[in-house]
Amino acid sequence: MGSIYNLFYDTAFELSSLVTFITPGRFLFKAGQTPMEWMEKMLSDTHFKVVDYFQKSSDVFPTVDIKGGVAIGLRNANKEFGAIGFFSDYPDLKSIMAKVFTNPSFQFGQFASLVSSQGIYRFSEKALSEFPRIYEVQGKGTASKITSNAFENLTEIFVNTEKECKGEGVQIIGRIKGSRETKWVNASYLQPCEYLNYYNVLVPEANGTGAIGEVLSTPVIGVPVIGVPVIGHTDTFLSIGKFADAQEASACLNYVKTKFARCLLGTLKATQHNPRDTWANVPLQNFTAISDIDWTQSIADIDKQLYRKYKLDEDEIEFIEKMIKPME
């Protein structure tokens, strides 16, 4: 079911020139199930402004958890406030974004284009034909998608060793009862997926609450992992890359761990989910050996290089260092 608070806004705008509502704040970050067209309309409406924003909904409603926080919005058809455009409750974050956006190397959504959609690994027609129990476990609507439920319960398909595959095997990483597990599946039971032929960085499809500064976690080890060719994953992960070699994937992994990259991820990640769109403000880097960043350094040193590249001042650096949790 999609959101309905946007319908209340639209109706109120028709009835009155002055409107104020307390609603979920996800739309300020173009997140959630609210229609994208409506969210973009609100962010470009010069008559609309945010009176107050609470990242933690419990600060307003102690017993309610609203992902993306709570916004108090006001629209006055007789006043001009200027379009919101990019929303942030932090002035330093706005100035950081301005410097990133005006850097000659920045192109909106370039890094995001490396991020896969959810559920890129799916069962083949052969698997669906030979194992009708797939439909029992998953239902017909999501039967082909390799989900955590399928990974855990279809033990006749997902086996513990490559030898049990009785043919060419593919490793699949997934989650069972909160722990990251690796199993094997016969390659013929998977639809073709180009990501299998490359190195990738695997990140969780969802983690945390959407609060800025959170670490990216996977079950057990708490950091993203590098996927190598012939390793797939369930829909609890996303792939970043399609890199030709492990060196590029390792450099990307280090970038994802930096406070700088995760700060920019936090500008659009307002809920627990990390889909491709939430990475749009993260600038793409050169991950090869001829990069302007030395990716072999510590994560802290890589952050310092990125701060210099984007000409961040002391206040902006202090904001990132204070707000963003480190990842080992």
In this structure, are residues 111 and 276 in contact, taking their beta carbons and an 8 Å threshold? no
- Asked if residue 139 has pLDDT above 80, the reply is no
CA distance 297 to 313: 22
Same domain, 78 and 97: no
The pLDDT value given to residue 221: 32
Beta bridge partners of 237: 204
- Asked if residue 225 has pLDDT above 90, the reply is no
Strand, coil or helix: what is 138? helix
CA distance 180 to 234: 11
Q: Please report which confidence band the pLDDT of residue 65 belongs to, taking 50, 70 and 90 as the band edges.
A: confident
Whether 23 is covered by a domain: the verdict is yes
Beta bridge partners of 227: 200
- Mean of per-residue pLDDT scores for the chain: 89
Same domain, 307 and 287: yes
- Asked if residue 220 has pLDDT above 60, the reply is no
Whether 64 is covered by a domain: the verdict is yes
Q: What's the structural domain count of the chain?
A: 3
Place of tokens 């006043």: 79
Whether 228 is covered by a domain: the verdict is no
Instruction: Please state, in angstroms and as integers, the Cα–Cα distance from residue 158 to each residue in 6, 153, 171, following that order.
Output: 43, 9, 9
Same domain, 250 and 144: no
- Asked if residue 224 has pLDDT above 70, the reply is no
Same domain, 215 and 280: yes
Same domain, 106 and 206: yes
95: tokens are 């100035």
The H-assigned helical ranges of 22-90 are 36-44
Mean of pLDDT values over 272-294: 92
172: tokens are 């699949």
pTM of the full structure:
0.81
In this structure, are residues 212 and 263 in contact, taking their beta carbons and an 8 Å threshold? yes
Find the domain containing 182 and state its range. 122-192
Instruction: Please state, in angstroms and as integers, the Cα–Cα distance from residue 193 to each residue in 91, 127, 188, 239, 242, following that order.
Output: 42, 15, 12, 12, 11
Tell which wins on pLDDT, 74 or 83.
Answer: 74
Q: Please report which confidence band the pLDDT of residue 223 belongs to, taking 50, 70 and 90 as the band edges.
A: very low
Strand, coil or helix: what is 259? helix
The two counts, helices (H) then strands (E), for the chain are: 10, 9
Whether 229 is covered by a domain: the verdict is no
Last residue of a domain, one of 66, 87, 108: 87
Mean of pLDDT values over 287-314: 97
- Asked if residue 86 has pLDDT above 70, the reply is yes
Same domain, 316 and 264: yes
Amino acid at 138: Q
The pLDDT value given to residue 172: 94
Place of tokens 């001829």: 290
Residue 285: name the closest of 132, 54, 111, 76 by CA: 111
The H-assigned helical ranges of the chain are 5-15, 36-44, 91-102, 125-130, 133-138, 148-153, 246-257, 259-265, 299-309, 314-323
Same domain, 205 and 110: yes
In this structure, are residues 319 and 93 in contact, taking their beta carbons and an 8 Å threshold? yes
